[in-house]
Chain A
Amino acid sequence: MSKILVVDDEPDAIAFVRTVLEENDHEVLSAPDGESGITQAQSEHPDLIVLDVQMPKKDGFHVFGELRRNEQTRNIPVLMLTAIADRTGIGFDGKSMAEYIGSEPDAYIDKPVDPDKLRETVARLLS
């Protein structure tokens, strides 16, 4: 059983991901915004973070950047959920995320989330 942190501002989206992951016997923690997501990542040391891109105030890309810059969270794999077709250059003055942060998330899943794809990707990232 792994500990997975889901960061999403939409309670419905968290409930969905939680249902899928709990069926596979994972322990699911949740955070309703980017700031508390970072705090929980530092205190709970999850095995994987499922991160929504579009959140108010601090979006998923910026949260990812902070996670990668922080010593304690740098090595936690991140799976990003996005409804945005173009994943580059958003919020980074036209630069791609790799250019801006120096690394890319470990995986992306497009919304609407396919439960099977979510299960497979989580299994791959945890293996």
Chain B
Amino acid sequence: MPTVVQCPECQARHAVPDTARRVNLLCGCARALAVARRDGPPQPAREGAVTECGGCGRSYDPAAFRDATDVLCTCGNLLAITARQSGESAGRRREDRARSLSEGELNALIDLCGMMNAAVDTETLLRTILSLSARILRAEGTSILLLSDSGDELVFYVVTGKKAQDLHEQRLDLNEGIAGWVVRTGRSAVVNDTAADERFAKRFDDHTRFRTDSILCVPLRTQEKVIGALEAVNKQGDAGFSEHDLALAEAIAGQAGEAVHRARLVEQNVRSQRLAAVGETVAGLAHCIKNILNGLQGGAYMVNSGIKKERPETLDKGWRMVERNIERVSNLALDMLNLSKDREPVLETADVNELIRDVAELMRERAASCRVTLRSEPDAALQPFPFDARAMHRCVMNLVGNAIDACEEAGGEVVIRTTAGGADTADLSVTDNGCGMSPETQKKLFASFFSTKGSRGTGLGLAVTRKILREHGGDLFVRSEEGVGSTFTCRLPRRIRS
């Protein structure tokens, strides 16, 4: 029965007579195939037997290639082939190999599939793949190398084993190393004597003071494209990596390639969403700052003009403008800080009724200047309870300020009320009879930098208010009707959360 050898260039198959000791073939693609093979029909390789490369004379131990794999010599020749049926497909071969998987290996592969689906980011996924690969293949170290963005280098993306830290993020040229060859040609490689293999990149051993004796390396593919390689080094025991290990590694890599592709897509999506959010925030912030700067610049100009022209009223107006805008920028900074991180409210027992009386007092002048009546209606039955009084003061000031702004017509009225909402909660509401809000405006109400107040609003106030309430375990509710008015209700829990 003839042996079949496959050309590494064009994948064409050639029959080699069983009796021939050395065969020199010229493939249709012009690749010279010099094949050295064992005498007679294929036999399991004997220990110590040596296969000599027909091209360069280099010797190989065929025991490593026992089960019909095509192995390239470092000089490019094909060698160490055993007989197999003509027309036998790679899928069939893989199937045959899989049949010989032990129960432990099969379980490990099933586990791997499950873990790959659960992994959230590329690095976690690759670490999972590698730790399992090292266990299944009984290798001293494993690594996954991925093609760089430019596509001309391989990067040690994730590495396990003793020298993991030294190898992490090291790069190698595509023309370098066994991994480079695997990615370039899209073929797997089993090398059980690295010293005899010209492709082996020794500089990584020198760099890490490690000795690599054997390597098993398979390509990682996604949609027919090679994206990197899975590599295992130093098989435990003396046997070296076998054809069986190769089949296992190829099975793992088959799953891993697609999983890496999926994880990368998810990461890309998250990255672009994050960039868009950052862009929006920065644009909103720049806009707020420009408006405040306009106020500061205007104020400074008026102060100078008042001094030069000896007009105290202009100077006074300008100075008040500067003060107002300093307060605006300080409020903006506080709001940004507040929104930027979660914080625990500083809970101290305080009187919510006193809080609304304070705010009413502080805002009375501003309300009067806008011809708005401001009243507070505290619920006398409401006893002091623990809440962050400072943060809540900010919330109520914010809501009352908004309510006054919403009352444009004369006869505007703003009422601040407290009520015991239930046994465990207290409600603090701010009601106005102003312009109210359309359903569209209500939908966008808590989006950062959304404001209906033109240049005066930062669009952060309500977002901050709701965040503070939620940090208390409470919430902010809105009821509004266009042309009728709005009520914002702060619901606070009255018990300390455990």
Contacts and interface: CB of A to CB of B under 8 A. Distances in A.
Contacts of B283: 85
Nearest to A113: B294
A86 to B, nearest CB: 8
Interface in B435-463: 452-456
A118 B396 CA distance: 39
Contacts of A57: 452
Contacts of A19: 298, 301-302, 305, 314, 318
A55 B302 contact: no
Interface string A7-24: 011101101110110010
Contacts of B314: 19
B295 interface: yes
Max chain A C-beta neighbours (<10 A), residue from B291, B294, B301: B294
Interface in B298-352: 298-299, 301-302, 305, 314, 317-318, 321, 324-325
B455 A55 contact: yes
Interface in A94-127: 110-115
Contacts of A56: 452-454
A126 B351 CA distance: 60
B135 interface: no
B158 interface: no
A8 to B, nearest CB: 7
B270 interface: no
B15 interface: no
B462 to A, nearest CB: 15
A12 B325 contact: yes
B478 interface: no
Contacts of B453: 9, 56
B21 interface: no
B454 A115 contact: no
B297 interface: yes
A12 B57 CA distance: 91
B454 A16 contact: no
A54 interface: yes
A9 B456 contact: yes
Interface string B267-284: 000000000000000010
B294 A15 contact: no
Contacts of B454: 9-10, 52, 54-56, 59
Given A15-B321, A110-B290, A112-B294, A9 B302 contact: no
B324 to A, nearest CB: 7
Contacts of A52: 454-455
A10 B455 contact: yes
A83 B291 contact: yes
A57 B299 CA distance: 26
B137 to A, nearest CB: 56
Interface string A61-103: 0000000000000000000000111000000000000000000
Contacts of B301: 16, 19-20, 115
Contacts of A20: 301
B225 to A, nearest CB: 36
A13 B294 contact: yes
B24 to A, nearest CB: 69
B298 A16 contact: yes
Contact of B302 (A8, A16, A59): A16
Nearest to B435: A57
A41 B69 CA distance: 88
Nearest to A10: B455
Contacts of B479: none
Contacts of B456: 9-10
Contacts of B359: none
A57 B321 CA distance: 24
B287 interface: yes
A23 B311 CA distance: 12
B305 A23 contact: yes
Choose among B291, B295, B297, B298 the residue with the greatest number of A CB atoms under 10 Å from its CB: B298
Most buried by A among B291, B321, B455: B455
B321 A12 contact: yes
A78 B3 CA distance: 89
B286 interface: yes
Contact of B286 (A85, A114, A115): A85
B286 A16 contact: no
B452 A16 contact: no
Interface in A3-58: 8-10, 12-13, 15-17, 19-20, 23, 52, 54-57
Contact of A112 (B296, B302, B317): B296
B391 interface: no
Given A54-B454, A55-B454, A56-B453, A13 B298 contact: yes
Interface of A: 8-10, 12-13, 15-17, 19-20, 23, 52, 54-57, 59, 83-85, 110-115
28 contacts: A9-B454, A10-B454, A12-B299, A12-B325, A15-B317, A16-B299, A19-B301, A19-B302, A19-B305, A19-B314, A52-B454, A52-B455, A54-B291, A56-B453, A57-B452, A83-B287, A83-B290, A83-B294, A84-B287, A85-B287, A111-B293, A112-B290, A112-B293, A112-B298, A113-B294, A113-B298, A114-B297, A115-B301
Task: For the complex of A and B, list the 8 residue pairs with the smallest distance between their C-beta atoms, beginning with the closest.
Answer: A16-B298, A83-B290, A112-B293, A112-B294, A111-B294, A9-B454, A55-B454, A112-B297
Interface of B: 283, 286-287, 290-291, 293-299, 301-302, 305, 314, 317-318, 321, 324-325, 452-456
Given A13-B294, A85-B283, A113-B294, 17 more contacts: A9-B453, A9-B454, A9-B456, A10-B454, A10-B455, A10-B456, A12-B325, A15-B302, A16-B297, A16-B301, A19-B301, A20-B301, A52-B454, A110-B290, A111-B290, A112-B290, A115-B301
